[in-house]
Structure 1
Amino acid sequence: MDQKTDVVDLVSTLLDSGKYKEALSVPNKKQYAESFKDNCWDLISIVVSKVENDTITLKPSLYGACEELLSVIIEKATPEEALLEIIEQIEVAKNDAQFSIILNPLQKLLKKLSVKRGRSLEWCLNSISTYIEAIPIPDHHLEGKERLLMDSDSNARRIVHVYSLLPSFYQPFVEELSKNDCNNKTVYIIAAFLISLFGKPLIYMDLDPESGINSQLRQCCETILKDVCTLVKNILKFMPYLENSYKESQIANSKKKTSDNDDDVHPYEHREKINVTTLSGLFYLTFSGDFVVPDYAIPQVFSHEYMVHNILLSVNHFLQFAEYGPQIKGLTLCNNILNLYENKTSHTFLTLSIHYDLCKSLINLSIYSSYETVRKNSVKLIGIHINKFDYKGRIMLIKYIIDIANHSGMIGYAITQYKNSLDEAFKESYLPECFSGAQFLNMVKKICYLPYGVESDLVELADQIITALNFLRYLALKDAENKTGIRECFPIIETDYLDNLRTGLNMSKAHYEMKLKELEESKDICSKEDKVSINIGGKMLDKIPTKNKKEIIHSALNAFHLIEGLVGRLTECVHINKAHVYNE
């Protein structure tokens, strides 16, 4: 048996048998000294393989022996060869304990390679990034205070633990670079690595200050963010990178071809590090208002409008995720960044598509998100977004919502926003042009719209119809002087809208009353129940108990009676408004 096999097997056997002192004495024994040095590569993998997640708790002496052996191996090994093996051990690490025990030897090796560190450092950091990104994200449908339960999730604990290991590993290099005040590629390499940490899995974690302002992960994020600021000085320099990566993400199957082996590619151009997700994480930490950011890192060199437009790209990206973590981060960032806008910001800024993309994303979340908190916050932000603009800008966004929402409640919300803006405009010395004439008529047509005329589903459209009728009644009473031109709209309102509504109401009431009569007259519920079906919002409800069917029918009939009453009151208000002309 050759000497190589002897020393490797010897160390392995001694560790397995609990003879830790003997194992530590092997490199100091003359007969093993040369072989130990020649076999450092294999010894690294053997020592690391002895460590499990519970080793430090159940066998602290073994863990300590492995740490000490790795330190000796690093001292005796050729740095370049040992580094390659350490990188491989990170890539094949079976648990976080192995990953953890590797970091200190890796740091020592990189310090030894100070002259040729750049490329080696990049390889090491890439391996660390790959390991971190492979940690499964917590998969729980929790929101609000329920998120505190994530502390018991094994993957969440893994993420917190691994992130907490990183600052002590990389900070010596940050300090070294900051002292030298250099602007070399190593700065970019470390900065790109740190920014990559703000992507997956961090964006899925709870960083809400209400859930624990002094949590270990929040503190770790603040440390990493501060170190990014130390290296790059100006966080805003990444806005052009955000714009580019966002555009790339919007193109299906878009892949920017970069290679870590290409020395000509700037570290900020590697999309696996600097991409729309990691930059969104960076700007969330910087602008959400929940983290401390050095003043020098956000120089006042850009207009608030430019900053808002760019950071809204991050917001919209977060809102595309299905998970609670990214969604709530997007909403938090959106709320804070919109505050940078002045009230009555010019509608000219709405030439940028991001505002409509944001509006669409918020609509989708407010209707379809699995989380109540997200739905409510999305609706609130739609209103905040709209009301940041001047009247013309508000109308542009409101029209967009009405055109794309395809949801009665959301269209009703948009109509309410229009009503509130018009009510505010009435208090001005003169009514803005966008609330009168052809522009006003166009809006009235959008509001008074029944997609299928008299055959429209009035149950499905109830919220929209009720809001529209209340708006028209308010306007008929409010605008006695016809500032908006409402009187010229009355023929359209009465003929194209109210007449169709009355006919539709009569048809719908007759249909539902007939169904209710069938249910009430049924003597044999079991046999009759299968024969009576109800169509609600285009869905057949035929497999529900009779009692529930009756409740549904009564609810629909109540909605019809409410709409009918509003139609009657609106008709009276229209007559009063018309009569005002004759009394003048």
Structure 2
Amino acid sequence: MDMEMGTETVTEAENLLSLIKRMLHRRNYEDIKMMFQSPTVFAEIEPHMPTVAMDMYTEICAPTLTDETNVEDTQLFDCVNELLKVIANYAPLQQIMLELMEKIEESSSIAIFSAYLRALQVVLLRQGQSKPQAIEWCLASVVTRVRNLPLPGYLSEGYDEQQAQLVEQDKQVEELLAHYITIDLCYEPLLKVILEQEVKTSIFRDCRLNRRNILTCFLLQLLGKPLALLELCNVPTRLLQPGQAHTCTPSPWRLRPELTQRSYLQARANASKTQSYVQQVQHTLITDITRLLGDPYYLLCLVEQRARWKRRLDAAKGVYEMSSHNVFLIDEKLPLPALAMYYHALLVGQMLPKNAPKIYAPLYLFESSLYLVSVLLEQPEPPMQHCGLRLNDYMLSILTEPVPQHSLDLEVHKRYCEALCKITGYSSQESLRQLGLQVLHHYILAFEDAAKYLILKNLLETVQHDGILGYLAGMYKDLVAAQVELKAPLGDVYSGVQFRSMLLRCVCVLPQDVKSDLLLHSVSLSNALNILRYFAMADLENRTGFWHALPEIEEQLLQPLGKALNFSLAHYKAYRERVLNGQSTSDDELMQKQLNMLAVNISNSGMDGGEGDGHLPDIGREEKLEVLAGSITGLESLRVLYLLASDNLEQSSIKRKKLLQLD
């Protein structure tokens, strides 16, 4: 009897499958819609759905949901799209989940991605609380698809604020934003269920693998690349004025009927109408993550835990020690660059909710965020470096008291300074170099005096970039000058042994004695000479101890520098005569290096004819004379400064002797 009933059920299920196929063939789309929407009709066919669901998917949905069908027969595509959503509710859970994950990762267009994502929405809700790992796998396929989308190269190479105004009009960027908006509509029901059913705690929370934490990590991952590369769209000039139409329309809305009725602006009515699509997407993600976390600052303590006390990987399990008790400790689940973008948007973007806790000390926020800032500065993409600088500058601006010296015990300060100086000195983006220098200045001034001294001294001893060295030396001079003008007793870092050490070891230095390349170190040498001129005239009373250090400064800097200047000028002028007379110049190593630098500049600027063969272009007589003229001018300027400094020292020495005689 049971066997007969089973056979009868299979037969009726097969009949249902055949019926739907015939109706599709006859284009009876409204009748199919009525079958599943009419309570009476659906009550008859629902018992057979678990049996026939996978066959419907394999024989109807998978072959039909293609880009070709979407273009040539939109009605058929939309009908099967709706059918897939019904099938997802009855097919064997694990089997349909694996099918949908594969299709999402391999989707060839937003139409296909949207169709399978709508079905995945049903699967996510079916999983319930008991299978968070399955939910994680499903959402991971979505992240994989987004990360594999093609993007214009300039997003990674860097672009300025003016170019950012046109970013959203790029077709590939439109496609990316359309994916993000579709994802938002997909996870909304799951988010609603989690917020309604699961109780959150702000302090002793459950950080294990559960639905809430998996969804939190998923949304945080979406804030990373590629969305993070669009961050420069969030500049103030990007905002549209009220009533101004936006030129970008993420496409194609018609592929998802529910989105035609519920556009992104309607779905997020509380978002400002002046926001760009990038800002709207970001606002949605930030808001939902914060709702899941409760305390938006909570993850900052875990950042320090991950960066400062890294645990070894367990080779057998492939995870960090104790990470099974805290998913936020696993890099794969919570990448730090993405988390950094969350706090950038939250703080710099002013998305912090009004009910955010006010108990966190500014120093704690500054130190904790410094790990994230370092992560962003170490990213190869200029837009993410830009975000790191802005986040750092914001955190510095909220400090209410000087940062104490013991904060420098944190190794993150060294990592941060290395990354910041690298950007400031060598970034291809001028705006980044300028902002980096401003942030470096702000960072040093945020500390108490003893810490300022340590930072400057360490940077001056380790940084190789001549421009930064000159800037830092000038900054120390300004700090000392400000204290000298106060007429109050000078602190240890501005006088005596420490002042002497700074000048002799870091500021008044000729790297290779007489053989130094003066043009390579022209900025730092110019600043050193100006610093000597200042203290010679401003500190006749020797409050800093400058005059005690002067004999050593003369021995290690001024005397060899004078000889090096005379030698270099004579050398370059003789060289110029040889070029003018048509004599060979290839035997001089120093000059050849200067000529090679010019050749590299010509090649990089495209003036070499675009050959691109990797060989340096030949430099003619005029170019050589141009290099020589620039070198001689630079050396002459440095010598004028040297003579001024020598004269100032001599005159100030005379004045100082008179003062001593009067005393």
TM bracket, shorter-chain basis: 0.7 to 0.9
When structure 1 is superposed on structure 2, of 350-359 and 480-489 the one drifting more is 350-359
**Distance 1:250-1:300 versus aligned 2 partners, 3 A rule:** same
**Distance 1:33-1:237 versus aligned 2 partners, 3 A rule:** closer
After superposition, the C-alpha distances for 1:524-545 in whole angstroms (9 at most, x for unaligned) are xxx8577888244695768322
When structure 1 is superposed on structure 2, of 396-405 and 123-132 the one drifting more is 123-132
Structure 2 gaps, min length 5: 1-9, 201-205, 240-274, 600-617
Identity of aligned residues (%): 23
Corresponding residue of 1:108? 122
Q: 1:162 aligns with which of 169, 172, 179?
A: 179
CA contact under 8 A between 2:129 and 2:211: conserved in structure 1?
no
Corresponding residue of 2:380? 322
**Distance 1:373-1:17 versus aligned 2 partners, 3 A rule:** farther
Separation (CA, whole Å) in 2 of partners of 1:521 and 1:433? 58
CA contact under 8 A between 1:315 and 1:334: conserved in structure 2?
yes
Corresponding residue of 1:200? 225
Q: 1:469 aligns with which of 524, 529, 546?
A: 529
Separation (CA, whole Å) in 1 of partners of 2:84 and 2:409? 60
CA contact under 8 A between 1:144 and 1:373: conserved in structure 2?
no
**Distance 1:473-1:233 versus aligned 2 partners, 3 A rule:** same
Cα RMSD for the two superposed structures: 3.5
Structure 1 segment 2-21 matched on structure 2, within 5 A: none
Offset of residue 256 of structure 1: 10
* Correspondence 1:552 to 2:598: no
Separation (CA, whole Å) in 1 of partners of 2:500 and 2:18? 88
Separation (CA, whole Å) in 2 of partners of 1:308 and 1:254? 32
Separation (CA, whole Å) in 2 of partners of 1:264 and 1:20? 49
Separation (CA, whole Å) in 2 of partners of 1:114 and 1:241? 28
Separation (CA, whole Å) in 2 of partners of 1:22 and 1:567? 93
After superposition, the C-alpha distances for 1:316-357 in whole angstroms (9 at most, x for unaligned) are 111111212211111111111111223543323222222222
Structure 1 segment 230-241 matched on structure 2, within 5 A: 230-241=291-302
When structure 1 is superposed on structure 2, of 308-317 and 43-52 the one drifting more is 43-52
Look up the SS of the partner of 2:334 in the other structure. Answer: coil
* Correspondence 1:485 to 2:545: yes
Corresponding residue of 2:491? 432
CA contact under 8 A between 1:137 and 1:204: conserved in structure 2?
no
* Correspondence 1:293 to 2:352: yes
TM-score if structure 1 supplies the norm length?
Answer: 0.88
CA contact under 8 A between 2:539 and 2:546: conserved in structure 1?
yes
Separation (CA, whole Å) in 1 of partners of 2:572 and 2:473? 28
Offset of residue 561 of structure 1: 1.4
**Distance 1:58-1:276 versus aligned 2 partners, 3 A rule:** same
Offset of residue 67 of structure 1: 2.1
Corresponding residue of 1:517? 577
Structure 1 segment 27-426 matched on structure 2, within 5 A: 38-44=51-57, 46-52=60-66, 59-74=73-88, 77-78=91-92, 81-114=95-128, 116=130, 118-140=132-154, 141=157, 142-180=159-197, 182-183=199-200, 185-206=210-231, 207-210=233-236, 212-213=238-239, 214-247=275-308, 257=317, 265-288=325-348, 290-297=349-356, 299-342=357-400, 344-426=402-484
**Distance 1:119-1:462 versus aligned 2 partners, 3 A rule:** closer
When structure 1 is superposed on structure 2, of 509-518 and 425-434 the one drifting more is 425-434
Separation (CA, whole Å) in 1 of partners of 2:458 and 2:329? 36
Q: Which amino acid aligns with 1:404?
A: T
After superposition, the C-alpha distances for 1:387-425 in whole angstroms (9 at most, x for unaligned) are 112222222111122112112111101111111111211
Structure 1 segment 558-577 matched on structure 2, within 5 A: 558-577=633-652
Offset of residue 124 of structure 1: 2.2
Separation (CA, whole Å) in 2 of partners of 1:406 and 1:219? 42
After superposition, the C-alpha distances for 1:531-572 in whole angstroms (9 at most, x for unaligned) are 888244695768322222212211111121122111211112
**Distance 1:363-1:354 versus aligned 2 partners, 3 A rule:** same
Offset of residue 503 of structure 1: 0.5
Corresponding residue of 2:270? none
Corresponding residue of 1:496? 556
**Distance 1:246-1:180 versus aligned 2 partners, 3 A rule:** same
CA contact under 8 A between 1:110 and 1:117: conserved in structure 2?
no
**Distance 1:49-1:499 versus aligned 2 partners, 3 A rule:** farther
CA contact under 8 A between 2:89 and 2:126: conserved in structure 1?
no
**Distance 1:8-1:320 versus aligned 2 partners, 3 A rule:** farther
Separation (CA, whole Å) in 1 of partners of 2:527 and 2:311? 36
Look up the SS of the partner of 2:342 in the other structure. Answer: helix
Offset of residue 309 of structure 1: 0.9
Separation (CA, whole Å) in 1 of partners of 2:120 and 2:405? 55
**Distance 1:335-1:115 versus aligned 2 partners, 3 A rule:** closer
Separation (CA, whole Å) in 1 of partners of 2:337 and 2:655? 60
Structure 1 gaps, min length 5: none
Q: Which amino acid aligns with 2:490?
A: L
Separation (CA, whole Å) in 1 of partners of 2:315 and 2:493? 44
When structure 1 is superposed on structure 2, of 301-310 and 101-110 the one drifting more is 101-110
